[in-house]
Structure 1
Amino acid sequence: MAAHRKPKQRSLSGSTARTAATLALVGAASATVFDGTGHADPRLSPAEVKSKVDSLYREAETATEKYNGAKEKAEKAEKTLRELRDTAARKAEKLNSARNSLGSYAAAQYRAGGIDPSVQLALSSDPEQFLDRAARADRAGSRQALAVGDVRKQVQEMDRLRGAADERLAALRARQAELKKHKKTITGKLGEAKRLLSRLTADQRAELAGAEGREGPGGDSRASRSDARAASPGAAKAPNARAAAAVSYAYKAIGSPYVWGATGPNAFDCSGLTQAAYRSAGVALPRTTYAQIAAGERVSRSQLRPGDLVFFYSGISHVGLYVGNGQMIHAPNPSAPVRLAPIDQMPFAGATRVA
């Protein structure tokens, strides 16, 4: 039984995952032990290792989509918090100015307030002028009363803004804690997959890489690009220019590495690829698979056309971009780059037409 050791932090960004050797280097953040799964049986066959690794990849992808959703919400909370603080700062400046004006008026009233108006009239050398001033003072008093009411409203608005900012700050901290939890899950699953693969010999890893390549077109990046060139006329059959542009982008992305949480232009996770493809066409898609499936018109498998989003597994944890002839372009997992693959490679869950 292998001893528990915490491998050094590694980055996915440099891995292209194009060869059998890359299968052994399932790069992703840290390879920490997750839920006590650090005891891989060295007697597992290569096929059993592949099955376990595929399962770990699916679990990591589910956690990745949750991470993406939490990150999107955290970014929105942070943006709202900044806007609230900016608004509060501007209103505080306006409130201070109004308070200063009221203070000046109150000081003037205090200086004249000790003399009864009838006495002021009696002492005045020009009664008409005094009465005129008194009338203007009365009107000014009404305006000041309105100003007092306005200041009161501004104070109440400041209290509301502070309360809203506190709520957004609490939401942001909750999302940050959620991000940390999902990241731990992802790195744990990918770390365990890496440890499983490291128990295989170089020949066994090469055998697995070959088997994965035979499961669908695109096992090797050069083969993927060759298959893509052969299949690329499918882009011309897209229902409209936006779908065609998304398909074109996806073809150009073939061979790019899978990196969880990435949205391009040089690396992608599954929903990051579809989001980037449609972003290039001027269409804003949500960040996660479970939000993307609701972002357009649902279509059946028999109605698929190039540019449609195709989803897999019961939890809607994987997505690809349909390109015609039963094929899709997708970002599979850390051991494989963006590639062309048949849609019957995974359990089909549904499809959406975006544009």
Structure 2
Amino acid sequence: MVSHPSRRVVRGAFATTAAVVAAVLPTTPGNAQPSAADALTKYNELSQKAAQLNQDKLKAQVDLAAKQGELDRAKGDLATARKAAESQRDQVDLLTEVTYSGARFSQLSALLVSDSQQDFLNRMSAINILAADNAEALQRLTDAVTAADAATRTADEAREASGKLLAEIDQKSADLQKQLNEARTQYNSLSASTRNALKNAGDLSPIQAPPGTAGKALQFALEQRGDRYVHGANGPDEWDCSSLVQAAYRYANVSIGRTSYAQAKEGRAVSRGEVKAGDIIVYYSGQSHVAMAVDGVRAVHASTEGVPVKIADIDSIGPISVIRRISD
């Protein structure tokens, strides 16, 4: 957890990035303002695409970790199944050896060599036991080989799925980097005043979080105001939108998913009118961005590169997809 006590001062209203920038855009005659506004709009579009690609890449990484876990379990099951098959094969081989060494008798040979009725019954009992043992051992061997074959298929499928996910991650990483380069180029084309407005951390004044789990998570998120946004970052001084929310609830001893997609399914849904401190607000139809409610009006979020973790009006961040309450 990183605190910035020296920055806990009011540095502006809870406005959207666009509204903040509008206040510093030139109003001189000519095409200056429309050009600057267009540049900012383009930057926001590119940044949003980059954010979605970042979440896609993170999801693929989470899926890969799960598949690797399946592969590890499948390898363990395969090793166990093969060991069981070898053990049963040894048992069958032993029974076969005993049979061919003459220790196993037919009913006729038992009758011919028996000294008495009791001796005959004893020999017949031994014959039946050997037969049952052999049949049982063969069945166990068949079952063990079948299990080993199934474990082999499972391991191969998990290995193939992991390979596909690795390739997918590589592609998404390339797509993300390309998108980031475009966004950064667009960012550098913005005027100095616009970039300074984007860098403004907004309200850094002390905010009292409510008691309880949600309040503890909110306390953590608020203490990260002013930190840098970096795609794929996990703190402690750099975040993306979903890592900030995940870390906040981890600080409150609650485990939630890493991506905005996963966080859109956590807890329970609440309506816009029910929003309270600590609620998770997921934005856009693709659910590619997430913020945490400060109250019913404001939210704290890691926005995009070039913009620090800050407070904004809930409805200004973007179109809301879903609101989730992790703790009551």
TM range (shorter): 0.7 to 0.9
Aligned-residue offset at 1:118: 4.2
**Equivalent AA in structure 2 for residue 353 of structure 1:** R
The one-letter amino acid of 1:279's match is: R
Is 1:212 the counterpart of 2:183? The answer is: no
Q: Is residue 74 of structure 1 aligned with residue 64 of structure 2?
A: yes
**Structure 1 length as normaliser, TM-score?**
0.74
Instruction: After TM superposition, give the deviation of residue 329 of structure 1 in Å.
Output: 1.3
| Whole-angstrom distance in 1 between the partners of 2:218 and 2:109 | 90
Higher mean displacement: 102-111 or 162-171:
162-171
Does residue 53 of the first structure (1) align with residue 43 of the second (2)? yes
Structure 2 residue matching 1:185: 3-state secondary structure: helix
Q: Does 1:260 align with 2:231?
A: yes
* Ranges in structure 2 where 5+ consecutive residues have no aligned partner: 1-6, 8-33
Partner residue of 1:352 out of 317, 324, 328:
324
Hey, what's the Cα distance between the residues in 2 that align with 1:273 and 1:82? 30
For the pair 1:280 / 2:280, whether they are aligned, the reply is no
3-state DSSP class of the match of 2:229? coil
Percent of aligned pairs sharing the same letter: 27
Equivalent residue, structure 1, for 2:87: 97
In the TM superposition, 1:102-117 aligns within 5 A as 102-112=92-102
Distance 1:168 1:99 in 2: 28
Q: What whole-Å deviation, never above 9, does each CA across 1:135-156 have from its counterpart, x for those lacking one?
A: 2232132122112111101111
Q: CA deviation at 1:304?
A: 1.2
Q: How many residue pairs were aligned? A: 294
What is the 5 A alignment of 1:1-355?
45-112=35-102, 118-119=108-109, 122=112, 129=119, 131-199=121-189, 204-205=191-192, 207-212=193-198, 219-220=200-201, 226-227=204-205, 229=206, 232-233=207-208, 235-236=209-210, 241-324=212-295, 326-349=297-320, 350-355=322-327
CA distance, structure 2, for counterparts of residue 135 and residue 325 of structure 1: 83
The superposition leaves residues 108-129 of structure 1 with CA deviations (integer Å, 9 ceiling, x where unpaired) of 1011179766456545678855
| Residues 311, 318 of structure 1: 8 Å contact kept | yes
2:4 is aligned to none
Partner Cα separation in structure 2 for residue 64 and residue 195 of structure 1: 18
The verdict on how the C-alpha distance between 1:332 and 1:126 changes in structure 2, with shifts beyond 3 A counting, is same
Coordinate RMSD, CA, aligned: 2.7
Give the 3-state SS of the residue equivalent to 2:218 in structure 1: helix
Separation in 2, partners of 1:173, 1:182: 14
Letter in 1 for 2:263: Q
What TM-score comes out, normalization by structure 2 length? Answer: 0.80
Structure 2 residue identity aligned to 1:108: V
Shift of 1:352: 1.7
Residues 288-331 of structure 1 show CA distances to partners (whole Å, capped at 9, x for unaligned) of 22332232332222221001111223322211001126221111
User: What letter corresponds to residue 289 of structure 1 in structure 2?
Assistant: S
Instruction: Look up the equivalent residue of 1:162 and give its one-letter code.
Output: T
> In the alignment, residue 71 of structure 1 is paired with which amino acid?
Q
CA distance in 1, matches of 2:196, 2:104: 100
Match for 1:281: what amino acid? Answer: A
Range that drifts further, 321-330 or 111-120 = 111-120
Deviation, structure 1 residue 130: 6.3
Note the alpha carbon deviations across 1:235-289, whole angstroms, 9 max, x for none.
11x6xx2211211121222233322223334432111211221222232323322
User: Structure 1: how far apart are the matches of 2:78 and 2:35?
Assistant: 63
Q: In structure 2, what residue type is equivalent to 1:72?
A: V
Q: Closer, same or farther in 2 for the Cα pair 1:119/1:98, shift >3 Å? A: closer
Quote the offset at 1:192 in angstroms: 1.4
Letter in 1 for 2:326: V
Q: What secondary structure is seen at the aligned counterpart in 1 of 2:265?
A: coil
Q: For residue 276 of structure 1, what is the amino acid of its counterpart?
A: A
Q: Point out where structure 1 has 5 or more consecutive residues left out of the alignment.
A: 1-17, 19-43, 214-218
Q: Is the 8 A contact 1:259 1:269 kept in 2?
A: yes
Alpha carbons of 1:197 and 1:251: their partners in 2 closer, same or farther (altered >3 Å)? closer
